[in-house]
A = this chain, B = another copy of it.
Amino acid sequence: MTHTEQRTPIDLADCGELAAQLRVDSVRSSTSAGSGHPTSSMSAADLLAVLVARHLRYDWDDPHNAANDHLIFSKGHASPLLYSVYKAVGVVSDEELMTGYRRFGQRLQGHPTPILPWVDVATGSLGQGLPIGVGVALAGKKVDDLGFRVWVLCGDSELAEGSIWEALDKAAYYGLSNLTVLADINRLGQRGPTELQWDLAAYARRVEAFGCRALQVDGHDLDAIEQAFIAAEQSDKPTVILARTVKGRGSSEIQDKPDWHGKPFPKDLAERAIAELGGERDLRVRGPLPTVKASGKVGDDSTSVQLPTYEVGEKVSAREAYGQALAALGARTDIVAMDAEVSNSTYTALFAKAHPERYFEIFIAEQQLVATAIGFSVRGYVPFASTFAAFFSRAYDFIRMGAISQANIRLVGSHAGVEIGADGPSQMALEDLAIMRAVQGSTVLYPSDGTSTAALVQAMADREGVVYLRATRGAYPGLYPAGEQFPIGGSKVLRSSDNDQVVLIGAGVTVHACLAAADQLSGEQVTARVIDLYSIKPVDIDTLLTAITATGGRIVVAEDHYHQGGIGAAVLEALTAAGRCEVSLAHLAVTDLPGSGTSEELLAAAGIDADHVAAAARQLIKSR
């Protein structure tokens, strides 16, 4: 075993040795773990050797240097290769590689996650690393000015994902010459050949038709790789290097054979492959450094924010209040916004007008919308992404993965529920609260008026994780005076007395139904407590417990959402966790598929309007 400490970019000729080490270590680590993807790592080893040794400008001693290039493994299953790179640059020890990979409690997980300081985002759901890389490159090109490049390693199988083409389209549209894609065209997917196999020309036609530069190279020819990287660095367009590679390259027994995807080499085979590759090495290399050192801290001049104010009784829609609040919040230079071609409906247009340099039109490509937000989060910005609430469902895998990436993104969905009226069910988010609640570590908010919307939009900006706000389409009278506080995890008791017989719980549009129901009931000498549960996750369990104690556990929950997993479930789960299930709960929610109509007609038909809330309350009081 040779051990060479190398602190300056090595000669291209020596990259072959480095590549051999990366292959050997990919085999060793996955065999030691008993699982992993050595063959998918071996195909890309030459690309990574040349990149890391000679082109990636990265200060491995300071991963937080904001001027570092970004290296994203969109093919996250090639984690043995990534971790072998980390060993080669000296930030992960051989011991950790051999005893930590894929083991419980260790950081070298099966697919990379940002638990490692050099990893920007979790990958492993294919077709996501590139879209997020586009977001990072967009931040670098249009907002940052640090000159970093973004290098994304893609597999060929994932080029079948539509999200890849949304990404390349936006990369070209925004002229992201700082983005280079290394496409590892190794011909073989998990269960057999890919669609296009080694037809690099077909890939090139697609890449060029989408406005990017395509370079075709032999992915095992170090000179060709070097020239392609130089060309990419000098390109005025995003570049996709289409590298013809061989899966399992370096093991003559395995290479280019199907049925070896995602399988570690048995011990004897590993030994033969390592011998064929020239044995173990302990090369240490460092490539070029970024030209500057920069703090990752993005400006945050929050003192200058003047939120919009609304009067009690003033009619404003939550979506309009969101747009106005976001535009005001834009006084903070860390706030960026993006929308999927509906900014006139979501009112993000107000931000776009006030801060055009920090607004990004993503057109109708919701996966790229969320990926762009995650990319800006990687760069330390505070992104707000908006579209119709129903259409975030298009990007749910990105949102799910965003949580694993520990991304801090704010999603604002307008036009939720049957309340939207005539457009019909395709435009009605009726499952968004369920799906957003199920995201690990998420926050789910649902304001009912202008004041609470503006306050929650401001609160979102400083909240970590995936934060979702549901913004009602219609305009409803203001319930709260300007300046009222709305802490996340709180709620508002809008009506209460010392002898409340029932508690009516709503959020968003159903808060207004609950208030009107309470008015109806008060005419019948029934006193109802009314809670505005504007924070669906986390939920204000203390106020709920106080209310059930006061009302003998009579609860009506009304929500403009299907029954499953929404506000009712949030209340029930919280009461259960608190050990206080002894309630009588009437759960009013949408059951049948709605159609078109007016808001009033549809809320009534779904059984979630004031009349239904009052009737449910009467029934509870009568029966218990």
Give the contact stretch, choosing among A298-306, A393-401, A491-499: A393-401
Decide if A396 touches B435 in the complex (CB within 8 Å). yes
Per the bound structure, the CA–CA distance linking A205 and B422 in Å amounts to 38
A292 located at the interface, meaning its Cβ lies under 8 Å from any Cβ of chain B in the complex: no
For the complex formed by this chain, how many copies does it contain in all?
2
- How many A residues face the partner with a CB closer than 8 A? 111
Decide if B440 touches A595 in the complex (CB within 8 Å). no
Q: A104-B596, A169-B195, A191-B349 are in contact. Are A425 and B437 (CB under 8 A)?
A: no
Most chain B CB inside 10 Å of its own CB: which residue of A161, A391, A564: A564
Decide if B404 touches A426 in the complex (CB within 8 Å). yes
Q: Contact flags (1/0) for A416-444 with B, using CB distance below 8 Å?
A: 00000111111100110011011111000
A391 CB to nearest chain B CB (Å): 6
Decide if B563 touches A573 in the complex (CB within 8 Å). yes
Decide if B595 touches A424 in the complex (CB within 8 Å). no
A578 CB to nearest chain B CB (Å): 11
A478 CB to nearest chain B CB (Å): 26
**A36 contact set on B, CB distance < 8 A:** 422
Q: A562-B440, A595-B109, A597-B105 are in contact. Are A169 and B161 (CB under 8 A)?
A: no
Decide if B569 touches A126 in the complex (CB within 8 Å). no
Decide if B391 touches A394 in the complex (CB within 8 Å). no
**A424 contact set on B, CB distance < 8 A:** 102, 109-111, 113, 124
Decide if B158 touches A596 in the complex (CB within 8 Å). no
A220 CB to nearest chain B CB (Å): 24
Decide if A569 touches B565 in the complex (CB within 8 Å). yes
Decide if B427 touches A438 in the complex (CB within 8 Å). no
Decide if A161 touches B596 in the complex (CB within 8 Å). no
A200 CB to nearest chain B CB (Å): 13
Decide if B363 touches A596 in the complex (CB within 8 Å). no
A202 CB to nearest chain B CB (Å): 8
Decide if A105 touches B209 in the complex (CB within 8 Å). no
Decide if B364 touches A158 in the complex (CB within 8 Å). yes
**A421 contact set on B, CB distance < 8 A:** 35
**A50 contact set on B, CB distance < 8 A:** none
A206 located at the interface, meaning its Cβ lies under 8 Å from any Cβ of chain B in the complex: yes
Selected from B124, B427, B562, B573, the residue in CB contact (under 8 A) with A426 is: B124
A593 located at the interface, meaning its Cβ lies under 8 Å from any Cβ of chain B in the complex: yes
Decide if A122 touches B163 in the complex (CB within 8 Å). no
Question: From A166, which residue of chain B is reached at the shortest CB distance?
Answer: B162
**A573 contact set on B, CB distance < 8 A:** 563-564, 568-569, 572, 587
A386 CB to nearest chain B CB (Å): 12
**A582 contact set on B, CB distance < 8 A:** 581-582
A270 located at the interface, meaning its Cβ lies under 8 Å from any Cβ of chain B in the complex: no
A164 located at the interface, meaning its Cβ lies under 8 Å from any Cβ of chain B in the complex: yes
Question: From A600, which residue of chain B is reached at the shortest CB distance?
Answer: B104
Per the bound structure, the CA–CA distance linking A618 and B568 in Å amounts to 28
A439 CB to nearest chain B CB (Å): 7
Decide if B122 touches A425 in the complex (CB within 8 Å). yes
Question: From A437, which residue of chain B is reached at the shortest CB distance?
Answer: B564
Per the bound structure, the CA–CA distance linking A587 and B579 in Å amounts to 10
Give the contact stretch, choosing among A19-27, A235-243, A314-322, A340-348: A340-348
A367 located at the interface, meaning its Cβ lies under 8 Å from any Cβ of chain B in the complex: yes
Per the bound structure, the CA–CA distance linking A423 and B393 in Å amounts to 25
Question: From A598, which residue of chain B is reached at the shortest CB distance?
Answer: B104
Q: A390-B125, A426-B122, A434-B438 are in contact. Are A103 and B596 (CB under 8 A)?
A: yes
Decide if B396 touches A391 in the complex (CB within 8 Å). no
Contact residues of A between 354 and 379, Cβ < 8 Å to B: 363-368
A33 located at the interface, meaning its Cβ lies under 8 Å from any Cβ of chain B in the complex: yes
Decide if B434 touches A437 in the complex (CB within 8 Å). yes
Selected from B125, B210, B565, the residue in CB contact (under 8 A) with A565 is: B565
A186 CB to nearest chain B CB (Å): 14
**A585 contact set on B, CB distance < 8 A:** 576, 581
**A34 contact set on B, CB distance < 8 A:** 422
A219 located at the interface, meaning its Cβ lies under 8 Å from any Cβ of chain B in the complex: no
Per the bound structure, the CA–CA distance linking A121 and B597 in Å amounts to 20
A442 CB to nearest chain B CB (Å): 9
Per the bound structure, the CA–CA distance linking A572 and B107 in Å amounts to 36
Decide if A364 touches B189 in the complex (CB within 8 Å). yes
Q: A397-B393, A572-B569 are in contact. Are A162 and B165 (CB under 8 A)?
A: yes
**A583 contact set on B, CB distance < 8 A:** 581
A13 located at the interface, meaning its Cβ lies under 8 Å from any Cβ of chain B in the complex: no
Q: A162-B164, A396-B394, A427-B110 are in contact. Are A564 and B438 (CB under 8 A)?
A: yes
Per the bound structure, the CA–CA distance linking A76 and B537 in Å amounts to 34
A252 located at the interface, meaning its Cβ lies under 8 Å from any Cβ of chain B in the complex: no
Contact residues of A between 88 and 132, Cβ < 8 Å to B: 102-107, 109-111, 113, 115, 122-127
**A568 contact set on B, CB distance < 8 A:** 573, 576
Selected from B393, B423, B430, the residue in CB contact (under 8 A) with A440 is: B430
**A563 contact set on B, CB distance < 8 A:** 573
Question: From A444, which residue of chain B is reached at the shortest CB distance?
Answer: B564
Q: A106-B596, A596-B109 are in contact. Are A435 and B431 (CB under 8 A)?
A: yes
A327 located at the interface, meaning its Cβ lies under 8 Å from any Cβ of chain B in the complex: no
A190 located at the interface, meaning its Cβ lies under 8 Å from any Cβ of chain B in the complex: yes
Per the bound structure, the CA–CA distance linking A397 and B566 in Å amounts to 18
* Additional A-B contact list (15), CB under 8 Å, known A105-B595, A106-B595, A157-B364: A104-B598, A111-B424, A113-B595, A125-B391, A160-B166, A165-B165, A173-B195, A189-B363, A190-B342, A205-B208, A208-B209, A434-B564, A437-B565, A565-B569, A569-B569
Q: What are 25 A-B residue pairs whose CB atoms fall within 8 Å in the complex?
A: A76-B426, A102-B596, A103-B596, A104-B596, A104-B601, A107-B595, A109-B424, A111-B423, A123-B426, A124-B423, A190-B345, A191-B344, A194-B363, A205-B208, A208-B209, A393-B400, A431-B440, A434-B434, A434-B564, A437-B564, A437-B565, A438-B562, A564-B573, A579-B584, A581-B582
